Amino acid sequence: MTARLMEGSEAIAEAMIAAGCRFFAGYPMTPFTEVLEHMARKLPAVGGVCMNAESEIEAVGMAWGAAATGTPAATGSTGQGLSLMQESLAEITLARLPLVVLNMARAQGDYYQATRGGGHGDYRHLVLAPGDVAEAVELVQRAFHLSVRWRNPVLVMGDYYLAHTARSVTVEPLDYGPRPHLDWALDGSTGGSGQAKLISFLGSAKQRHHVGYDLSDHYAACAADSATMVASVEPIAECLDTDDADVVVVAFGTPATYAKAAVRQLRADGARVGLVRPVTLYPFPTDVVAGAAEGARAVAVYENNQGQMVDDVRLAVLERAPVHFIGGLSLDGSGFGIAPDLDVSVLRHRIEQVLAR
């Protein structure tokens, strides 16, 4: 398979299809729109269904229904659209259904929404944040694997740059081993057997000897499964020059690419700086960040928001080193997340200020 020049949105669509996705529903919204466009063009060609839903609420509902049939399904939007979907996303998790959800975010203000649940109740989503188009191709496929493995939604957190930057990439199906047998999936065939299947966020135990649902049993079982998932999924992070770093920079997504360039420049000039880029935002690579902070004079966190991931960095670093926030909201007039601050010289200057403390 040869490489082809594709914008991130198209590469993500190709990767979803390579991962087996056969149902997609979405509602246009910048910068997510092109993912929907590419799915509308590509999915029918492989026998799949792409729905231009009437709202984000209906998009996630449609994806919910498709997922319940065992069809690899995905939906997505930008953070605002995901806000509309949160009630369903919370309950889909308690219904123990696999679903891949894309957030082509505006800036990075949706970190809390992604990693803290966003909706009501007690649940967890796995969150993957690619740094560039090539990594998105891999992580999107990993998201399908993880979601069906753990019967849990997986969020892929992108941004305006990822969606709209064209890169030469190869999309090949990645092998994550045999797909699990979906004995829970609905197709109607167990009706009338005395053992008809049920998929419900209230619990899937059929009523036999008592009336009603037992939510305490179900929520406890979900919490136990969630804890097993979080403990089992290996956090991923990219580390650059952290072994002897005086200052460790932490950033994720596209901004991490700019931070990495600034760190490389400073290294070339003899400054002892390093970088950690969390790839899994949930579970957060706490041990990697803690290890990098060990022996460092300071940790500097760049995010294009008021400071959200910095909380997780502080929880990881604890008393090992002071944690400085060197990010901040940086937007152009559109608010789509095109950031004037994403300039290597700007980031380099902010890292130098931390070095000089």
Partner 1 sequence: MSRTTRVDGHIVVRTDQVPAEPARLVDDFTPALIDVGAHHLCPGCGEPVAMRATLEAVAELDVVRRTIGVFGIGCYTAFSNNLDVEVLQALHGRAPSVATGVKRARPDTIVFTIQGDGDMVNEGLQEVIHSAARGENVTCIMLNNGVFGETGGHMTATTVLGQRTKTSLEGRDPVAHGRPILLATLLAQLDGAAYVARGAVNNAGNVARTKKMLLQALRTQIAGAGFSFVEILTMCPTGWFVETQDAPAYLADNLAAVHTGGVLKDVLGDSDRQEGP
Question: Using the rule CB under 8 A, which residue among 16, 18, 34, 64 binds partner 1?
Answer: 64
Stretch that binds partner 1, among 63-71, 170-178, 303-311, 318-326 (CB under 8 A): 63-71
**Residue 215 engages partner 1 in binding (rule: CB under 8 A):** no
- From 339, 345, 348, select the one nearest 263 (Cα to Cα): 348
HEC states along 295-308? CCCEEEECCCCCCC
Stretch that binds partner 1, among 61-69, 131-139, 239-247, 264-272 (CB under 8 A): 61-69
**Residue 163 engages partner 1 in binding (rule: CB under 8 A):** no
Name the token pair of 217.
Answer: 């049993």
**Residue 192 engages partner 1 in binding (rule: CB under 8 A):** yes
Question: Using the rule CB under 8 A, which residue among 1, 45, 211, 268 binds partner 1?
Answer: 211
**Residue 123 engages partner 1 in binding (rule: CB under 8 A):** no
Overall residue count recorded for the chain in this entry: 357
In the complex, least distance from residue 31 CB atom to partner 1, rounded to whole angstroms: 24
Cα end-to-end span (Å), the chain: 51
CB 78 within 8 A of CB 302: no
Distance, CA of 31 to CA of 149 (rounded, Å):
29
Residue 162 has, within 13 A of its CA and on its CB side, a CA count of 34
**Residue 189 engages partner 1 in binding (rule: CB under 8 A):** yes
Distance, CA of 188 to CA of 192 (rounded, Å):
9
**Residue 49 engages partner 1 in binding (rule: CB under 8 A):** yes
**Residue 186 engages partner 1 in binding (rule: CB under 8 A):** yes
* Contacts (CB under 8 A) with partner 1, residues 246-305: none
Stretch that binds partner 1, among 29-37, 55-63, 126-134, 235-243 (CB under 8 A): 55-63
**Residue 47 engages partner 1 in binding (rule: CB under 8 A):** no
Stretch that binds partner 1, among 69-77, 146-154, 174-182, 294-302 (CB under 8 A): 69-77
Distance, CA of 206 to CA of 188 (rounded, Å):
16
Distance, CA of 208 to CA of 213 (rounded, Å):
11
In the complex, least distance from residue 52 CB atom to partner 1, rounded to whole angstroms: 10
* Contacts (CB under 8 A) with partner 1, residues 79-118: 87-88, 91, 95
Measured from the CB atom, the residue of 2 and 195 that comes closer to partner 1 is 195
| Cα Rg of the chain, angstroms | 21
**Residue 25 engages partner 1 in binding (rule: CB under 8 A):** yes
Distance, CA of 347 to CA of 308 (rounded, Å):
18
DSSP-derived 3-state class of residue 158: strand
Q: What Cα–Cα distance (Å) separates residue 162 from each residue in 80, 149, 282?
A: 18, 26, 19
Stretch that binds partner 1, among 49-57, 221-229, 243-251, 264-272 (CB under 8 A): 49-57
In the complex, least distance from residue 40 CB atom to partner 1, rounded to whole angstroms: 14
β-pair type (273-278, 237-240): antiparallel
Distance, CA of 3 to CA of 209 (rounded, Å):
59
Stretch that binds partner 1, among 155-163, 167-175, 202-210, 236-244 (CB under 8 A): 202-210
In the complex, least distance from residue 22 CB atom to partner 1, rounded to whole angstroms: 7
**Residue 188 engages partner 1 in binding (rule: CB under 8 A):** yes
β-pair type (247-250, 298-301): parallel
**Residue 187 engages partner 1 in binding (rule: CB under 8 A):** yes
Question: Using the rule CB under 8 A, which residue among 13, 36, 53, 156 binds partner 1?
Answer: 53
**Residue 217 engages partner 1 in binding (rule: CB under 8 A):** no
Distance, CA of 217 to CA of 196 (rounded, Å):
20
Burial (CB count <10 Å: 0-12, 13-18, 19+), residue 243: exposed
Residue ranges that bind partner 1, judged by CB under 8 A:
22-23, 25, 49, 51, 53-55, 57-59, 61-69, 71, 73, 87-88, 91, 95, 186-194, 196-209, 211-213
